[in-house]
Amino acid sequence: MPFPTMRAIVMESFGEPEVLKLVDVPAPDPAPDELAVAVEAVSINRSFDLLVRRDGNNRDVVLPHVLGADPAGTVVAVGADVDGYSPGDRVTVSSTIRCGNCRECRDGDEAACRRSVHIGVDRWGGYAERVAVPASNAHRIPEGMSAADACVIVRHAPAAYNQLIDKTALRPGEWVLVMGAAGALGSFCVQVAKALDGRVIAAAGSDDRVEAALLLGADHGVNYRANDLADTVRGITDGEGVDVVCENIGDPGLWDGAFDSMAQRGRLVTMGAHGGGRVGLDVRKLYAKRLRLIGSAGVTKKNIDESLAAGSRGALTVLIDSIHPLESAAAQHRRLEADRSIVGKVILDPTLAA
Ligand SMILES: [Zn+2]
């Protein structure tokens, strides 16, 4: 084999960023239904990587472990049973592996699989020169798209399509409030809502982040740390409120503002709880205003295809903070933990020299 060993960031234990150690390990060969990919980009995810590194995040992580949910790069080996891929193909990898067997999978509701597992959590991920992944998780990178853009798009944009098309069925002209609008998911929610002819209010926790979201095409911006969110939203919408809220934070200090921003028959969709996850719910407003709250983990292949097609058309701006060699993994984990104000994704590129 041309690739008997590889450099990888291997965790032997959970804990501080120092547990992320660059070592040489055997390079994986693909199983019959897998591809081996030479990684050119993988993002550092707060939700998966930082939390899994710290304590496993209540997932059944087996040590030693390699993080990295969304590797993108070039196919270097193809499993015996895989059709349609050859060495040299450029692919990006979606993290969720569905069971194919649960009631939701059998119903054809692939986004709702109850036993899905994740690359970089339940098996070794892409903080490495090479990763083996199920061929069904690979998606061709469109011509002209960088591996870094492809990995960020496939990681976050499909959820924006899922929330705004599949879950809330946004209609042209409707108002959308995007919380965390400069974040990885929020930045795509802003852009997808605009592409669907929504009217978008970008909400974020600092003036810089509001400004970043306005540059992505939002019609209005509000800093929810400095203003009363619901009052501001009512002011913008002639007193009506918004039809859709992309919430995705779960912060008890921000929830009421987002909830109270909804118009009659509003729907709030959410995935993610990095703000804490336990919030107060005003049930009277829920029923009196006929509101709907929608939980939305998971995406479909159609969402992924739509995202890559939009990226290929130049319709998605990808916010990338910086790109680093593999050996910077620990330092970049430390930086992301210390600084919540970073706008854009931090990427590792195992082909870069230190
Ligand atoms: Zn399933």
Residue-wise pLDDT tens digits, 218-268: 999 999 999 999 999 999 999 999 999 999 999 999 999 999 999 999 999
* Beta carbons of 170 and 147 less than 8 angstroms apart: no
Distance from residue 114's CA to the centre of ligand 1 (Å): 5
Does residue 209 share a domain with residue 171? yes
Does residue 340 share a domain with residue 261? no
- Would 151 be classed as within a structural domain? no
- Give the CATH number, domain containing residue 20: 3.90.180.10
How many CB atoms neighbour CB 101 within 10 A? 11
Please tell me the distance from the alpha carbon of residue 238 to that of residue 191, in angstroms, as a whole number: 23
Distance from residue 108's CA to the centre of ligand 1 (Å): 9
Let me know if 74 is exposed, middle or buried by CB neighbors in 10 A (0-12, 13-18, 19+): middle
- Give the CATH number, domain containing residue 180: 3.40.50.720
Does residue 166 share a domain with residue 133? no
Does residue 135 share a domain with residue 206? no
Does residue 99 share a domain with residue 61? yes
- Would 303 be classed as within a structural domain? no
Distance from residue 156's CA to the centre of ligand 1 (Å): 21
Does residue 274 share a domain with residue 210? yes
Distance from residue 297's CA to the centre of ligand 1 (Å): 13
- Would 83 be classed as within a structural domain? yes
Distance from residue 302's CA to the centre of ligand 1 (Å): 17
Q: Mean per-residue pLDDT for 317-325?
A: 97
Distance from residue 102's CA to the centre of ligand 1 (Å): 4
pLDDT of 13 over the 90 cut: yes
Distance from residue 43's CA to the centre of ligand 1 (Å): 26
Does residue 194 share a domain with residue 134? no
E-state strands within 151-248: 175-178, 199-204, 220-223, 242-246
What total of structural domains would you count in the chain?
A: 2
Distance from residue 270's CA to the centre of ligand 1 (Å): 21
- Would 301 be classed as within a structural domain? no
The angle subtended at Cα 283 by Cα 280 and Cα 285, nearest 5°, is: 105
Does residue 53 share a domain with residue 125? yes
Does residue 290 share a domain with residue 162? yes
Does residue 186 share a domain with residue 94? no
**By residue range, what is the domain housing residue 16?**
5-141+319-348
The structure's pTM equals: 0.94
Distance from residue 173's CA to the centre of ligand 1 (Å): 36
For 205-230, how does the pLDDT look when each residue is reduced to its tens digit (9 = 90+)?
A: 999 999 999 999 999 999 999 999 99
Distance from residue 168's CA to the centre of ligand 1 (Å): 23
Question: How far from chain centre, in Å, is Cα 160?
Answer: 9
Residue-level pLDDT at 151: 97
- Would 29 be classed as within a structural domain? yes
* Beta carbons of 242 and 177 less than 8 angstroms apart: yes
pLDDT band at 47 (very low <50, low <70, confident <90, very high): confident
Distance from residue 301's CA to the centre of ligand 1 (Å): 14
Distance from residue 95's CA to the centre of ligand 1 (Å): 14
Residue-level pLDDT at 2: 52
Does residue 219 share a domain with residue 99? no
Does residue 164 share a domain with residue 133? no
Average pLDDT, the chain: 96
- Would 278 be classed as within a structural domain? yes
- Would 153 be classed as within a structural domain? no
For 101-143, how does the pLDDT look when each residue is reduced to its tens digit (9 = 90+)?
A: 999 999 989 899 999 999 999 999 999 999 999 999 999 999 9
- Would 272 be classed as within a structural domain? yes
